[in-house]
Structure 1
Amino acid sequence: MVLISAARDYITRMLQDISGMKVLILDSQTVSIVSVVYSQSELLQKEVFLVELVDSTSKESMSHLKAVYFLRPTSENIQHLRRQIASPRFGEYHLFFSNIIKDNQINVLADSDEHEVVQQVQEFYADFSALDPYHFTLNYPSNYIYMLPAVVDHSSLQTFTDRVIDGISAVFLALKRRPVIRYQRTSDIAKRIAQGAVV
């Protein structure tokens, strides 16, 4: 299992297939995914001249640049993207998501693309930060708290389990492996994660 090379290959394919000057637009989680596997100088070699966060308030038109978005498919990111596509700043938009995007999210983006600037939409399963060839993190702060279900509310617990399921699923999709997950029978959280990640 070579997680760093799997994540790096996704980023390389994303940047290499689009020729010309580019701006790379990330969210708060994908910025750590990219920074682990690519240095700033390597990004420059791929003709990435600007890196921005998706929630940036910059409105400066840069129609000479091609926008390469690499985002988690969250509802918040979809809303940012919808607004930016509706009034485009860049000449082309290439959308890459770090995990599976829902059909209704694709429809929202398609409805927003009145100027027909979106060139492609792809799923690249790199929804994890590779620490070394065999270890990864989801960068979820204070995750140990969620192992104590009496401490957290139900909606926070659901958000946590959804994120863990997304991350584990992305790892196995990136490695092209179908997992068999063993879990402690007395842990409801472990059961939910194991059953959700196998699907």
Structure 2
Amino acid sequence: MVLVSAVRDYISRMLQDISGMKVLILDSHTVSIVSVAYSQSELLQKEVFLVELVDSISKSRESMSHLKAVYFLAPTSENIQYLRRHLVAPRFGEYHLFFSNILKDTQIHILADSDEHEVVQQLQEFYADFVASDPYHFTLNMPSNHIYMLPAVVDHSNLQRFSDRVVDGIAAVFLALKRRPVIRYQRTSDIAKRIAQETAVSTVVYSK
């Protein structure tokens, strides 16, 4: 129950203090996080009457000012650009922005500069950057990731993106559980060493 409960707590915190009819806007990553932790009927009980993907809703211009938009997104450059465009021409009455991990300062500045209509009510960062497949196991939904563990790998920029994503996801698990990890890794694997060391640093920095 531990991992699922941690994610459920985050989702409850997003929704419980926002009264009235809501639309929940997710991305391809966070839709998996929410779907394993909350059912459609539970979302309805929280007055969520519509669930949309951020890339799909970007194609519509229909005004829905009677709804309050609750965004739960991964802090990617692509999502920040989607949000920037949404805020420049707002369709909803209020915007409540939640992210599954830590934002960069530059991303926060982009969002602040885009909110000319002052529709953003709050912005929060949560440590919910993993899919809790059951109470004691999680996945980061990274298909074909085994290729990065091979000695003769690949493009260094892709390797760095892979490493950063794994570090962010594993660190989020420990931070959500409020646990300081002891990490062991295979000494002969450079990528395992990098992930272990960067995860250890991340959990110390973000927990302060």
Of all paired residues, the percent bearing the same amino acid is 85
- Please name the residue that 1:48 is paired with: 48
1:122-161 counterparts in 2 under 5 A?
Answer: 122-161=124-163
Deviation at 1:151, TM superposition (A): 3.8
Q: Name the TM-score, length of structure 2 as normaliser.
A: 0.93
Deviation at 1:196, TM superposition (A): 1.0
Find out whether 1:31 has 2:31 as its counterpart.
yes
- Please name the residue that 2:205 is paired with: none
- Please name the residue that 1:167 is paired with: 169
Q: Deviations over 1:12-48 (max 9, x none)?
A: 1111111100000001000000000011111111100
**Partner SS for 1:37:** coil
1:76-115 counterparts in 2 under 5 A?
Answer: 76-115=78-117
Residue type matched to 2:62 in 1? E
Whole-Å separation in 1 of the counterparts to 2:31 and 2:151: 30
Q: 4+ residue stretches of structure 1 with deviation over 4 A? A: none
Q: Indicate if the aligned counterparts of 1:69 and 1:94 stay in contact, CA closer than 8 A.
A: yes
Q: Name the TM-score, length of structure 1 as normaliser.
A: 0.98
Residue type matched to 2:22 in 1? K
**Partner SS for 1:101:** coil
Deviation at 1:149, TM superposition (A): 4.2
Range moving further from structure 2, 26-35 or 185-194: 185-194
Q: Give the unaligned 5+ runs of structure 1.
A: none
RMSD: 1.0
Whole-Å separation in 2 of the counterparts to 1:162 and 1:132: 24
Q: Indicate if the aligned counterparts of 1:149 and 1:157 stay in contact, CA closer than 8 A.
A: no
Q: Deviations over 1:158-182 (max 9, x none)?
A: 1111110010011011001111211
Q: Indicate if the aligned counterparts of 1:168 and 1:197 stay in contact, CA closer than 8 A.
A: yes
